[in-house]
Amino acid sequence: MLEVEGLKKTYKTTKAVDGVQLYLNKGESVGLLGPNGAGKSTTISMMSTLITPTSGDVRYNKKSVLKHPDIIRPVLGVVPQEIALYEELTAYENMRFFGKIYGLSGRKLENKVDEVLELVGLSDRKKERIKRYSGGMKRRINIAVALMHEPEVLIMDEPTVGIDPQSRSYILDMVRKLNREKGMTVLYTSHYMEEVERLCDRVYIMDHGHIIASGTKDELKSILSGEETVFVEVQQMSLKLVEQLVAHEAIQKVTEVEKGYKVIATKGEDLLADIFKLASTIDVKITGIHVQTPTLEDVFLHLTGRKLRD
Amino acid sequence: MWNMLKKDFLTISRDRSEVLVLLVMPFVLIAILGFALGGINQENQGIAEIPIALVMSQDFDQELQDFEQRLEDEGFPREMINQVIESAEAIDPAIMLKNLLLAPELEGAIATETGYQSTEAQQALEDDQIAAIITIPEQFSYQTLIAIYLDEEPNASIEVKVQDYEQIRSDVIESVVTNFVDQYNFETSIALATEGEAVETALNNEAFGETTYLSTRDPVSAFQYYTIGMAVMFALYVAATVSSNAFKEKETHVFARLMVTGEKPIRYLISKAVAATVLTALQLAILFILSGLLFQTFANQDLSFWLGVSVITLSFAVTVGSVATLLTAIALQFNNDAISAAFSGGIVTIFAFLGGSFTPVEQISPVIRMLGNWTPNGAVMTAYLQTIQGLSFGAVMPMIYRVLVMSIVLISVAVFIFPKRRLA
């Protein structure tokens, strides 16, 4: 349905996007995961015909949208990372304005405004100006505006940045509903791995302008099939314990987390026993320990050596 | 387009600081300056008596004899010749113009001196002793009479030489002369026609001059002056407001969102021009109406006055719209709103000074007045003041044409600069 081929964008000497390849099938929910500055927003801007790529192409149903932007614009809904709304206008006025820009009018426009406001749960606050909204409410209207023309493809650029958990959960449920119940094709960009894990069928992992891995969630996690993640909770943090753990032949990486350490190690039978033994030799009391199945965050860490939010 | 306009109107009208700048501040300044400078300005700004020289180079008696001889040569019967000569004395345009200029109705407005010879008058004009020379050339009466009675091509013209084409008083003098010509043509045609002859107007406008009408009204009051001065100055801020709003739309990614919908950039730019035009027209209308209601600024004006004011207002609104378009194009193309800040922070003040919003600049220097008339606000301010003084619409038109041409140039440059499709 939508294909991106060798997309590149260079600003003077900086390569913001370097040969990105990706595709979206109809009705799919695809995640584009990567840290800040990975090139996700630039990729989205090129896909939505907002900026011209240095090279490469974007095709919608086999036709180049770079040459013919008008073929994608009517079927594309874009939710920008920023709150792209008129703060002085009410939610209702913003939605009516963009609805009219999309060519809606009369009763159809009014019905659509009501329907979308219902969907984002803001019907009772529609007469308030956007500037008086909370961050979460602004995010929801930001999404609502992109849904006014019932797009086939919805591209969302970090739609939950800086909002409370309740609003985030509401938005994620809404996106899942749009994808599952309305068959909307979704490209969901985020640096929150748990969001992408929750929403998406397939995932592209992006870093420094490149796609560094792609596949279904299970395919990506299988990269880490030979490894396991162990969380070690300690009474008191100890640099010496870290040194001991890093020196262990099965342990690949030790990172500090709240109240303890996250240990990535090659799967082995005696690892937990070894960790307890190491701790007791230096008088560090372990208050808890659990083994976690790999996450996309772990995959990213494995591939780049960095956390997603670094 | 209405959708975009409504959005611009709502966003600007809900911003208190914008309302303060665009409506409250000019109104407060009109009140302060009107009351504070009322007395001073009344004295200085009114059309003081305009000294002019009427140089009559023709010899009417001789030319009447020449005309009589010509009628004889043409074979007219004696009785008819006597009748024509008798009526010719009554309709000689040179005498009629002289009588008009010396009429009591013009006392206080125009002081006509008839004792000058041509060279003396020229010297007096150069020495600023007089504001204009009206010259009735040799053969003027003869040429006029044969044009009227023998239906020959008119070859007579009254020469008007003014001291400074930019000054309002020059317009007044030209208006007096042209008004006279129009009136003369009209009355001569009627007079001859009523004697049973079908007569075409023999003297045409082109032979005499361009402008019409005569101002004998009161001088411009301080309230009138500062209502116009502050209104045209603060109208320029509309352009900066609209372009700043456009830049804010780009900064907050609303512009990008609009482009993703398929909205054409040129339509967006046009919407900014129209928004600024409508906002300026509304702003000026509100200021004029408020000033009129509270300070009786435009009391007892007739319909033609309001029509003239409306045309000037609309023309100026279009010009402010075109300035807004250019500022928007520059801000969006170069991704920097410094141009709007520079415009509202400096250029508006300079234009306002040159245009005469703070003080009548012709009292400082005719050069500044001339420069001021090349600013949009200065040109329309001159047009408004001319209209208040009762000058004809024709006299005001050159300034209106000027601002409309400015608008075309500004919009053309803006369209050339504005990003055509994508943002980068």
Query: Could you give the ipTM of this predicted complex?
Result: 0.75
The pLDDT value given to residue B210: 34
> Which residue in the block uniquely carries the two structure tokens 């804010």?
B248
Question: Per-block average pLDDT, block size 10, for chain A (310 residues)?
Answer: 88 86 90 85 89 90 86 88 91 93 91 91 90 90 90 90 85 88 89 84 88 81 74 89 88 87 81 87 89 75 66
DSSP for residue A223: G
Half-sphere exposure of B421 (CA within 13 A, CB side): 11
How far is the C-alpha of B212 from the C-alpha of B186, rounded, in Å? 13
Nearest to A84 among B15, B256, B422 (CB): B256
CB contact B424 to A (< 8 Å) = yes
Angle, helices B140-149 vs B78-90, to 10°: value is 120
Selection from B374, B380, B353 nearest residue B364 by Cα: B353
For B50-92, the pLDDT digits (tens) are 888 888 887 888 888 888 888 888 888 888 888 888 877 777 7
How far is the C-alpha of A70 from the C-alpha of B153, rounded, in Å? 65
Q: For the beta carbon of residue B40, count every other beta carbon within 10 angstroms.
A: 10
Residue B161 corresponds to which tokens in the numbers above?
Answer: 């030489």
How far is the C-alpha of A141 from the C-alpha of A41, rounded, in Å? 20
Q: Per this entry, what is the length of chain A?
A: 310
The pLDDT value given to residue A225: 66
Q: Among the ranges B77-81, B277-281, B351-355, which has the highest mean pLDDT value?
A: B277-281
In chain B, helix, strand, coil percent, each to 5? 70, 5, 25
Q: Which helix (H) or strand (E) holds A3?
A: strand A2-11
How far is the C-alpha of A198 from the C-alpha of A176, rounded, in Å? 9
Least confident of A65-74, A82-91, B38-47, B351-360: B38-47
pLDDT more than 90, % of chain B? 20
The pLDDT value given to residue A111: 93
How far is the C-alpha of B154 from the C-alpha of A285, rounded, in Å? 120
Least confident of A290-304, B59-73, B133-147, B285-299: A290-304
Half-sphere exposure of A55 (CA within 13 A, CB side): 4
How far is the C-alpha of A116 from the C-alpha of A77, rounded, in Å? 13
Selection from A263, A275, A249, A247 nearest residue A301 by Cα: A263
> Which residue in A9, A11, A50, A87 has the most chain B C-beta atoms within 10 A of its own C-beta, making it the best mutation to test that interface?
A50
Q: Among the ranges B34-43, B201-210, B295-304, B309-318, which has the highest mean pLDDT value?
A: B309-318
Which has the higher per-residue pLDDT, B312 or A167? B312
CA distance B354 to chain A (A): 36
| CA distances for A5 relative to A1, A17, A20, angstroms | 13, 12, 7
Nearest to B253 among A69, A84, A98 (CB): A84
CATH of A2-221, one of 3.90.1150.10, 3.40.50.2300, 3.40.50.620, 3.40.50.300: 3.40.50.300
The pLDDT value given to residue B391: 80
For B260-276, the pLDDT digits (tens) are 888 888 888 999 999 99
pLDDT band at B236 (very low <50, low <70, confident <90, very high): very high
Tell the burial category of B263 from Cβ atoms under 10 Å away from its Cβ (0-12, 13-18, 19+): middle
Q: Are B188 and B91 in contact (CB under 8 A)?
A: yes
CATH of domain B50-208: 3.40.1710
Q: For the beta carbon of residue B186, count every other beta carbon within 10 angstroms.
A: 11
pLDDT band at B168 (very low <50, low <70, confident <90, very high): low
Q: Where are the alpha helices (DSSP H) in B150-264?
A: 168-194, 205-208, 222-251, 254-260
The pLDDT value given to residue A291: 84
Q: Are B190 and B397 in contact (CB under 8 A)?
A: no
> Which residue in the block uniquely carries the two structure tokens 């099938």?
A25
Residues of B with Cβ-Cβ distance to A145 under 8 angstroms = 257
pLDDT band at B39 (very low <50, low <70, confident <90, very high): low
How far is the C-alpha of B350 from the C-alpha of B333, rounded, in Å? 25
pLDDT band at B197 (very low <50, low <70, confident <90, very high): very low
**Could you confirm whether domain A226-293 is CATH 3.10.20.880?**
no
Q: For chain A, what are the domain ranges?
A: 2-221, 226-293
Selection from B362, B325, B347 nearest residue B245 by Cα: B325
Helix (H/G/I), strand (E/B), else coil: A81: coil
- Which amino acid, B81? I
Residues of B with Cβ-Cβ distance to A80 under 8 angstroms = 253, 256-257
Q: For chain B, what are the domain ranges?
A: 2-45+220-417, 50-208
Residues of B with Cβ-Cβ distance to A103 under 8 angstroms = none
Q: Per this entry, what is the length of chain B?
A: 424
Q: What is the mean pLDDT of residues B359-364?
A: 78
Q: For the beta carbon of residue B155, count every other beta carbon within 10 angstroms.
A: 13
Whether residue B202 is predicted with pLDDT greater than 50 in this model: the reply is no
Q: Which residues pair with A2 in a beta bridge?
A: A24, A60
Residue B200 corresponds to which tokens in the numbers above?
Answer: 């075409």
| Angle (CA) A171 A174 A179, round 5° | 130
CB contact B16 to A (< 8 Å) = no
pLDDT band at B192 (very low <50, low <70, confident <90, very high): low
Sign of the Cα pseudo-torsion (A104, A108, A112, A113, in order): positive
Please indicate whether, in this complex, the C-beta atoms of A74 and B260 are within 8 angstroms of each other.
no
